[in-house]
Amino acid sequence: MADIESNQGVRMDLSDVDHRVGKLVGGGQLWEPCAKSDIRRWVMAMDYVNPIHWDQEFAASSRFGDIVAPQSIAVALDYGHGCQPACVGHIPGSHLIFGGEEWWWYGTLVRPGDKLFQERRFFDYKVADTKFAGPTMFSRGDTIHRNQRGDMVAKARSTAIRYLAAEAEKRGMYEAMAGTPKRWTRDEIREIDRLRHAWLLSNREGRSPHFEEVKVGDRLPRRVIGPHSIASFTTEYRAFLFNIWGTFHWTAPAGVEDPWINQDPGWVEGFGFDEDLALVDPRARDGLYVGPSRGHIDDSYASEVGMARAYGYGATMAAWNTDYLAFWAGHDGMVRHARSDFRSPAFEGDVTFIDGEVIDKIEKSEWGFPVVQVKVTMTNQDGAKVVVSTNEVQLPY
């Protein structure tokens, strides 16, 4: 498929995409193993208050004996917010937003001193004519995360939505959806703080509900995150370790003729990196100043790629979901599978409410042990759905 054309005659060139489907791809590899400061930085950015991830004394007295990383940290120890294998091939004039993520976990926790290695593959893609941007490609890429011992930690399947930035800017769909940032009153902020505090106390001790005691229809405690701001988006961005100067190097899978490591995906002018200059001045590929992520914290650049204003990260929303479930599951539980569809970004000024409901109990699961199925819905202050997720959680049996 060389290109796709919309009903209005807008064309997207996919000639550099087809021949890459199914192939292993390269990307970035962190130099150093995971440290306690990396774990603390991540949970701080995710506003995840579980003390086994940051409180040395609490963690030492737990069954873990020390601080451990949350399940969501695998993406922080990866390159490109985990989207590298879904953004493959040069599409002129394009931009990208996350469309969703699917995760599987295999029972191996990440601890301080562990180092994750990634195997990446461009899985598949499909095309559609969307109201948002006309010709649009939905591409999926897989990443397998293993530790230094070769143990499987997790597998991620990310979905990238690649579209023509100029067409999205012209149509302005997200601008109409997002409106202007809400100004929160002091009373509203107090209520948000009350909900947040109630959630952090809901299972701070890490008790795991038993499979037998959980019932279909049970609701998880509500979690709230926000209001989102330039400061919170910046904090999130820096918690993805590849964004810190000098933390990674480029790697390529052996035997692949064209492994797509750091080629130009076709970003519009002003959104690319200068890899040569970055060897001398690392800010030349620092996404808070240049590159495709700059729209997250800069309204003027956000509008150029069809976003209404500064907005959050897809990988962050997936992490919120995993952390929410893991907190409920406690120290003896584990999230085994999570499939999240992203309906809208979390915009600057928004608040995200997270609600979960047990929708099924599966005694004979594909994992070989019972799991509880939980539906998670994230909404903003207007009730609009931001994320819908279906998940399988292992509990003591």
Task: Summarize pLDDT for 195-244 with one digit per residue, the tens.
Answer: 999 999 999 999 999 999 999 999 999 999 999 999 999 999 999 999 99
3-state helix, strand, coil in the chain (%, to 5): 30, 30, 45
What superfamily does domain 3-179+230-335 belong to in CATH?
A: Hotdog Thioesterase (3.10.129.10)
Task: State how far the Cα of 331 lies from the Cα of 66, in Å rounded to an integer.
Answer: 13
Of 133, 155, 128, 159, residue with least CA distance to 144: 155
Task: State how far the Cα of 165 lies from the Cα of 304, in Å rounded to an integer.
Answer: 7
Give me 153's structure tokens: 């930690």
Residues 303-345 pLDDT 10s: 555 666 788 888 999 999 999 999 999 999 999 999 999 988 8
Residues 137-177 pLDDT 10s: 999 999 999 999 999 999 999 999 998 888 888 877 666 55
Domain ranges of the chain: 3-179+230-335
